[in-house]
Chain A
């Protein structure tokens, strides 16, 4: 019954490292999203993609990039990780129905 998976549950990286977070969905959804979740701030949209090779900036894209080479996979890239990118990262995919929304379990990233 797995729908949205994320490559790691916990990740520890050093400042300046390049970090890849992978998200895979098995529902043939067009739309995929990356959010970060911080206490007291809720979820904030980083990037989203509505088709292969298409991407749109969300509310907080600075310091991040994304890649969508295949429909089922959406990657979030931190080119040079910084301590203020320590957070929980959540991936989501949505279908055409309003209730077709699925989130991955999240990746807790710590940058030291």
Chain B
């Protein structure tokens, strides 16, 4: 079955770049996603990448996809305290956007 893995915790200083990593096992994934969950809130879709792309940039966010190694990363430039949250990597394939989520990485930004 599908398996999506992330490290549980990352701590960075305000202003530095954050890199959150994710590995997945399903080579038939169509889309890969990054979600943000702020304390006490539901998930918010941050960005996504189609499986035939290598990179996607959206303002401070850069997503890199290495299909050969089944590795996805999210880089947040100039990390701010408001970026403190749990970040989930996820993948989907087929219809109905059925999504398989990773374990989540808690990002702590130190002022």
- What residues make up the interface of A, taking CB atoms closer than 8 Å to B? 4, 31, 35, 40-45, 48, 50, 58, 90, 92, 94, 98-99, 101, 103-106
Contact = CB atoms under 8 A, between A and B. Distances in A.
Contact of B8 (A40, A44, A90): A40
A60 to B, nearest CB: 12
Interface of B: 4, 8, 31, 40-45, 48, 88, 96-104
B97 A106 contact: no
Nearest to B102: A42
B43 A99 contact: no
A45 B96 CA distance: 13
A98 B29 CA distance: 14
Contacts of B45: 99, 101
B101 A103 contact: no
Contacts of B102: 42
Given A40-B103, A42-B88, A42-B101, A106 B96 contact: no
A42 B103 contact: yes
Given A50-B96, A105-B40, 9 more contacts: A31-B96, A31-B97, A42-B4, A43-B43, A90-B43, A94-B97, A101-B97, A103-B43, A104-B42
Given A31-B96, A42-B88, A48-B96, A103 B103 contact: no
For A4, A42, A50, A92, the residue with the greatest tally of chain B CB atoms inside 10 Å of its CB is: A42
A23 to B, nearest CB: 11
27 contacts: A4-B42, A31-B96, A35-B101, A42-B4, A42-B88, A42-B101, A42-B102, A42-B104, A43-B101, A44-B101, A45-B98, A45-B99, A48-B98, A58-B98, A94-B96, A98-B48, A98-B97, A99-B45, A101-B97, A101-B99, A103-B43, A103-B44, A104-B42, A105-B40, A105-B41, A105-B42, A106-B41
Nearest to A50: B96
A99 B31 CA distance: 11
Nearest to B47: A99
Contacts of A35: 101
A98 B31 contact: yes
